[in-house]
Amino acid sequence: MLKRLAAVAATLAAISGPAAAQDVVRLGNLKFAHYGAISYMKEIAAKYNLKIDEKQFAKGADIYPAMAVDQIDIAASGADGAVAARGNGVKLLVVAGFANGGVRILGRPDLGAKTLADVKGKKVAVVRGGTQDLMLLAELEKNGLTWSERPGKDVQLVYFNNYADLNQALAQKYVDVICQSEPQSTQAISNGWGYEIVKPYDTPVGVPYRPLVMTEKMYTEKPEVAARVLKLFVEATKTFIEKPDLAEKYVREQVFKGQLSSKDFRDSMENADYTYDMPAGHMQVTADLMHKYGLGKMVNPPKGDAEWVKLDLLEKAKAELGAKTTSKTN
């Protein structure tokens, strides 16, 4: 009897063939609350016969050199990082938006500034090459302030390499103002290191959207894999939008390893949203302002979304999974 069952099993295996190996997709990601759905992709990837190999970077600008040498297939970052990479020859495409918001400008507790115009003569810190860098300069310009890394302008810019150091610099009063991401800005407020001066969403950038990018190589040479990646992305994001308790649990326990309180998570997500979408023209507005401010040191700044914003796979995935366009802004 056992021999007969073994023979039947062998016959069925021969008919069906060997199980297809999972396609490995190498993901570059950042450690922020609103990047959580991107991390969650690896938890459900097997459903799409994919394996997500996630590598976390300190900031978005660090991801793209790895993408340029074919070490990363998809990446989550600020729009400015994607623009700078594309403008310097990295062959990438924007295939979705995954988050919006997530920026605050904070002052040290005793500063007393009510608007950004009140910080004239102060030191203002930001991480170089992040979304916050562009948002800060746009807000300074809107308030009629000039800036430089050297004394002599209305504000002196101080650049840091990571977001944790920004909070420490504000706490120690080494700087007067920081432009920070989430949940780090919420943590700075809850720890008494700073207070919110403004959410810088009233400039031509508007509410910043973060793009999910993919190499042209994957998009053109592995279209079937690329389509599965977008379906995986949509399902992970849809899950986080529809199940906020799951999203909180995953981000706090898996992404931040218990180092983020429930209150800080919820407060930070009051200033950010998970999304699928990339508004028309948003990447070009970002590119134009970056070129204006000299950010990214681009050899060939992108001109128009048509050549590198490809949302066809996203729209197909959304239709198949019943995902609605997300329109909430902060």
Tens-place pLDDT, residues 34-48: 999 999 999 999 999
**Contact present, 318 and 234 (Cβ < 8 Å):** yes
Instruction: Please report where in the chains the tokens 């040479």 appear, as a residue.
Output: 221
Mean pLDDT of 147-151: 96
Domain span holding position 183: 103-198
Mean pLDDT of 157-168: 94
Shared-domain flag, residues 94 and 107: no
What gap in Å lies between CA 13 and CA 135, rounded to an integer?
57
| Mean of per-residue pLDDT scores for the chain | 92
- Per the model's pLDDT, the better-predicted residue between 13 and 157 turns out to be 157
Shared-domain flag, residues 95 and 225: yes
Shared-domain flag, residues 220 and 186: no
**Contact present, 78 and 283 (Cβ < 8 Å):** no
Position 12 pLDDT exceeds 70: no
The Cα-based distances of 112 to 118, 141, 160, 173, 191 in angstroms read 8, 21, 24, 14, 18
Domain boundary among 168, 198, 228: 198
pLDDT of 2: 37
Residue 7 lies in a domain: no
What gap in Å lies between CA 27 and CA 7, rounded to an integer?
42
Shared-domain flag, residues 108 and 190: yes
E strands in the chain? 23-30, 50-57, 74-76, 92-101, 104-107, 123-127, 147-148, 155-160, 177-180, 195-198, 209-215, 272-274
pLDDT of 20: 67
Interval 186-229: pLDDT, tens: 999 999 999 999 999 999 999 999 999 999 999 999 999 999 99
Residue 16 lies in a domain: no
pLDDT of 129: 82
- CA angle, corner 159, sides to 33 and 29, nearest 5? 30
Shared-domain flag, residues 231 and 243: yes
Interval 101-124: pLDDT, tens: 999 999 999 999 999 999 999 999
Shared-domain flag, residues 65 and 82: yes
Residue 12 lies in a domain: no
Shared-domain flag, residues 186 and 223: no
The band of 8, judged by pLDDT with boundaries at 50, 70 and 90, is very low
Q: What are phi and psi of 166, to 5 degrees?
A: -60, -50
Residue 31 lies in a domain: yes
Shared-domain flag, residues 214 and 311: yes
| DSSP assignment letter at 326 | P
pLDDT of 16: 40
Position 17 pLDDT exceeds 90: no
Instruction: Please report where in the chains the tokens 């279209």 appear, as a residue.
Output: 223
Residue 2 lies in a domain: no
Position 68 pLDDT exceeds 50: yes
Q: Can you give the CATH number for the domain in which 262 is found?
A: 3.40.190.10
Residue 278 lies in a domain: yes
Split into its structural domains, the chain has a count of: 2
Shared-domain flag, residues 230 and 317: yes
pLDDT of 195: 98
Instruction: Please report where in the chains the tokens 């997530």 appear, as a residue.
Output: 102
Residue 262 lies in a domain: yes
What gap in Å lies between CA 268 and CA 263, rounded to an integer?
8
- Per the model's pLDDT, the better-predicted residue between 236 and 13 turns out to be 236
Shared-domain flag, residues 255 and 309: yes
Shared-domain flag, residues 292 and 188: no
Mean pLDDT of 57-74: 94
Interval 306-330: pLDDT, tens: 999 999 999 999 999 999 877 544 3
Shared-domain flag, residues 93 and 214: yes
Position 5 pLDDT exceeds 70: no
Mean pLDDT of 236-262: 97
Domain boundary among 170, 198, 226: 198
Residue 203 lies in a domain: no
Domain boundary among 167, 198, 229: 198
